[in-house]
Amino acid sequence: MDIFLLDDEHKLIREAAREFARKEIAPKAKEIDANGRFPTEIIAQLGSMGFMGMMIPEQYGGAGMDTLSYVIAMEEIAAGCASTSVIMSVNNSLVCSPIVSYGSEAQKKKYLTSLAKGEKLGCFALSEPSSGSDAASLRTVARREGDHYIINGSKNFITNGREADTCVLFATLDMTKGHKAVCAFILEKGMPGYSVGKLEDKLGICGSSTAQMHFDNVKVPVENLIGVEGQGFRIALSTLDGGRVGIAAQALGIAAAAHEAAKKFAREREAFGAPIAKLQGIQWHIADMATRLDAARLLTWRAAVKRDSGERYSREAAMAKLYASEMAMWLTTKAIQVHGGYGYIKEYPVERHFRDAKITEIYEGTSEIQRLVIGSSELAD
Ligand code: CAA
């Protein structure tokens, strides 16, 4: 099904990602989830395949691909294992992209190649214990001292926080100045005062780490400021526009895997003398799932193509994430229903898909924030 008439290059990327996800990732997904195991070996393989820095230009060691390629690959990897896909998504969208778009030549040369190859991993430190949706109210402070900034504060819910070597961090120069004083920095694991705190015990995406991070008088060289002072909030929000397209694709992959599982079960399970796939009640569930999956895919691909056009795509990204994440939650619930009691037990994958789907309605901007972004754009003059 090629609703968008993918060109040969996009089809090849989809095939490569699908084959790798089905052979190497999906068979391990249950164990990764059950043990809360970070999939080190899979991330290394994704790095060597070019999937950890898909949109990084080739001159900096990346794959030099477009956003459509990225979301196509993301859907397939997420269908294999949602935990793996969020690790990949954060590295690509939230860490590599702001360095590509706003970083200095020296930052690009220093950081991008190892991130693209999967030799190093990145995290994006914006959220704090008392600032999530209201991102501009952050309290992590940066103070300029000579040729360094001194950073103090704590971050919360940081995906990849435990493993990250490179941290894109947001801090304010002056808490009274709101978003206009926010700056973006590149920090490195091992800088004195940089530490990882509590790890969260979660409902889903159990193979990825979600950490508190603490910054105690961390001395960051001025050359690690991304862009200019006060540009940090725009960097954060424009980066999140891209991140939201990636999370839409993640939600799509989780939902597609649940849809496949529901179809397989419906063909195999017999009731009333025939496979339940023969029952109209089941067929209607499967039909609604297929229709909503395609709708979410179209929104996600549209947002990806608009990103590549260079135009502002905040509204399209928000629509894709809102629809795809709510669709994934709806679809995984239905997939459990098609399985009946078997859907509720861990022997079948749909309970994992259901748990993994929930976070897509929350991270990188809740559904309420996406509605706010879409609503403001609709009502702007
Ligand atoms: N791109 C570039 N600039 C943008 C922008 C965008 N998408 N959106 C807003 N801006 C600019 C505005 O133009 C404005 O700039 P000026 O003052 O120069 O005109 C500035 O940013 C402030 O804009 P707003 O007044 O609209 O900002 P706000 O404070 O009202 O916040 C918001 C808007 C939509 C609520 C925003 O704060 C938001 O998206 N919050 C959610 C944060 C979020 O997604 N957090 C997720 C955490 S990261 C995560 O989950 C990572 C993980 O580990 C998986």
In the annotation, is 128 catalytic? Answer: no
pLDDT for residue 34: 98
**133 CB less than 6 Å from ligand 1?**
yes
Query: What digits encode the pLDDT tens for the residues 22-37?
Result: 999 999 999 999 999 9
Does pLDDT of 364 surpass 50?
A: yes
Atom from ligand 1 closest to the CA of residue 160: 53
Query: What digits encode the pLDDT tens for the residues 128-173?
Result: 999 999 999 999 999 999 999 999 999 999 999 999 999 999 999 9
In the chain, domain spans: 2-121, 123-231, 233-378
Mean pLDDT of the region 195-219: 98
Mean pLDDT of the region 97-119: 98
At 323, is the pLDDT very low, low, confident or very high (cuts 50, 70, 90)?
very high
Mean pLDDT of the region 98-108: 98
pLDDT for residue 5: 74
**373 CB less than 6 Å from ligand 1?**
yes
Which residues of the chain form beta strands (DSSP E)? 122-125, 141-145, 148-159, 166-172, 182-188, 194-199, 210-221, 225-226, 270-271, 274-275
Nearest CA to ligand 1 atom 25: 179
- In this structure, which topology does domain 2-121 adopt according to CATH? Butyryl-Coa Dehydrogenase, subunit A; domain 1 (1.10.540)
Nearest CA to ligand 1 atom 22: 179
**369 CB less than 6 Å from ligand 1?**
yes
Among 208, 231, 237, name the best residue to mutate to test ligand 1's pocket (greatest count of ligand atoms within 8 A of Cβ): 237
Residues facing 132 on adjacent strands: none
Mean pLDDT of the region 218-246: 98
Geometric angle at alpha carbon 63, from 80 and 2, rounded to 5°: 55
**Which is higher by pLDDT, 363 or 5?**
363
CATH dotted code for 233-378: 1.20.140.10
pLDDT for residue 194: 98
Give the CA distances from residue 31 to residues 28, 177, 229, in Å, rounded to whole numbers and listed in that order: 5, 47, 45
Does pLDDT of 3 surpass 70?
A: no
Are 122 and 166 a contacting pair, CB within 8 Å?
yes
Atom from ligand 1 closest to the CA of residue 180: 17
At 381, is the pLDDT very low, low, confident or very high (cuts 50, 70, 90)?
confident
Contacts 24+ apart (CB under 8 A), 9-12: 9/69, 10/68, 10/69, 10/72
Are 205 and 56 a contacting pair, CB within 8 Å?
no
Are 126 and 138 a contacting pair, CB within 8 Å?
yes
- In this structure, which topology does domain 123-231 adopt according to CATH? Butyryl-CoA Dehydrogenase, subunit A; domain 2 (2.40.110)
Does pLDDT of 2 surpass 60?
A: no
**158 CB less than 6 Å from ligand 1?**
yes
C-alpha of residue 135 to centroid of ligand 1, in Å: 7
Nearest CA to ligand 1 atom 51: 364
Mean pLDDT of the region 111-124: 97
Are 218 and 192 a contacting pair, CB within 8 Å?
yes
Are 39 and 32 a contacting pair, CB within 8 Å?
yes
User: How many angstroms separate the first and last alpha carbons of the chain?
Assistant: 39
At 1, is the pLDDT very low, low, confident or very high (cuts 50, 70, 90)?
very low
C-alpha of residue 237 to centroid of ligand 1, in Å: 4
